[in-house]
Amino acid sequence: MQIKTGVLLVNLGTPEAPTSAAVKRYLAEFLSDPRVVDVSRALWLPLLHGVILPLRSPRVAKLYQAIWTDEGSPLMVYSRRQQAGLQARLPHLPVELAMSYGKPALAQAVQRLYDAGIGNILVLPLYPQYSCSTSAAVFDAVAAFFANRRDVPSLSFRRDYAGHPAYISALCQSIRRSFTQHGEPDRLLFSFHGIPQRYADEGDDYPQRCRLTTQAVAIALGLSNDRYLMTYQSRFGREPWLTPYTDKTIASLPAQGVKHLQVVCPGFASDCLETLEEIQVQNRDIFLEAGGERFEYIPALNDDEAHIEMLAQLVLEMLPPA
């Protein structure tokens, strides 16, 4: 009997609505994961629920309101389009979408594949660069689902695709379109989501994976070293995170003669709060207020045809030999 194969696409997640209550539920789940914040539960959880969530949720809800669309959260909209595009590209494989936090819940998506008799699950986290705080959290959740079950299917887990030729090609196509539309900037800045420096010191190779992507794109585009920069954004809390920081770097560029800046965020498979609000709004304002003249954010790959084709290639590479 032939074993049925299915695909599990996983992204981080998003609140169900741009309201304080919905944001609070989402952040409570997200920030309670030890993979995300690994300090003592006894110390962290009272601080999270007693101080951070009550103060942070209303403020973050206002930011979500600024980017929310008629279809909903941009991350969810684009993730659904990616799921639909991949399903159309691979009609013989059922494709389920899951979020590590929020809905559609990962456990429910795996349950649907399990109930459909899928004996081989291909797990594809939508994180181009591995980190213990993202890809490993997906691994943990899938393993936890099957921890107490007698019947466990075959599992294939894609750690990341930081240097995959189809991914680099899709990024280059997107960047070239921006160059054609807006002209080539004085600098191209690659901004990745940050992680605590301590995680990297303890073995997370995320910085190396980000550098791999950046260097591969720069080489493919023929950019000299003085034409591009790599930084880290979205730091949270007081401990040191990976540097250089995106906002501080952007603030310093106009004084160095950079008047035209374009920013790409290759670590995000879908546009979301961190790209549409933090980069396109906050960091644009920082650049212009510091004396910059032109700023363009290059959108995430989202449901771009080259992105869907790349995801299909990743899935096909994960299939077992016929």
SS3 state at 241: strand
Dihedral sign computed on CA atoms, order 320, 87, 191, 244? negative
Name the strand (E) or helix (H) holding 206: helix 206-221
Cβ atoms of residues 67 and 276 within 8 Å: yes
**Alpha-carbon torsion angle 256, 259, 184, 263, nearest 10:** 80
Q: What is the DSSP letter of 192?
A: E
Name the strand (E) or helix (H) holding 263: strand 260-264
Instruction: Give the pLDDT confidence score for residue 321 in this predicted structure.
Output: 79
As a three-state string, the secondary structure of 33-79 is CCCCCCCCHHHHHHHHHHHHHHHHHHHHHHHHHHHCECCECHHHHHH
What is the chain's pLDDT, residue by residue, as a tens digit (322 residues)? Answer: 578 999 999 999 999 999 999 999 999 999 999 999 999 999 999 999 999 999 999 999 999 999 999 999 999 999 999 999 999 999 999 999 999 999 999 999 999 999 999 999 999 999 999 999 999 999 999 999 999 999 999 999 999 999 999 999 999 999 999 999 999 999 999 999 999 999 999 999 999 999 999 999 999 999 999 999 999 999 998 899 999 999 999 999 999 999 999 999 999 999 999 999 999 999 999 999 999 999 999 999 999 999 999 999 999 999 987 6
Cβ atoms of residues 243 and 252 within 8 Å: no
Facing residues of 247 across strands? none
Put residue 240 in one of left, alpha, beta given phi > 0 → left and psi -120 to 50 → alpha: beta
Cβ atoms of residues 130 and 192 within 8 Å: no
User: How many Cβ atoms are within 10 Å of 200's Cβ, its own excluded?
Assistant: 17
Name the strand (E) or helix (H) holding 230: strand 228-233
Of 273, 319, 311, 320, give the one whose Cα is nearest residue 124: 311
Q: Where are the domains of the chain?
A: 5-161+305-318, 165-298
User: How many Cβ atoms are within 10 Å of 2's Cβ, its own excluded?
Assistant: 5
How far apart are the C-alpha atoms of 235 and 196, rounded to whole Å? 8
pTM: 0.96
CATH classification of 165-298 is 3.40.50.1400, yes or no?
yes
SS3 state at 95: strand
**The CATH number of 5-161+305-318 is which of 3.65.10.10, 3.40.50.1400, 2.60.40.10, 3.20.20.210?**
3.40.50.1400
Of 128, 82, 58, 108, give the one whose Cα is nearest residue 74: 82
Strand order in the sheet with 95-101: 95-101, 5-13, 120-125, 154-157
Two domains, one topology: 5-161+305-318 and 165-298? yes
Instruction: Give the pLDDT confidence score for residue 157 in this predicted structure.
Output: 98
Kindly provide the b/e burial profile for residues 35-65, where b requires at least 16 CB atoms within 10 angstroms of the residue's own CB. Answer: bbbeeeeeebeeebeeebbeebbeebbebbe
Query: Is 193 labelled as part of a ligand binding site?
Result: yes
Q: What is the DSSP letter of 268?
A: -
Show the tokens assigned to 258.
């950079």
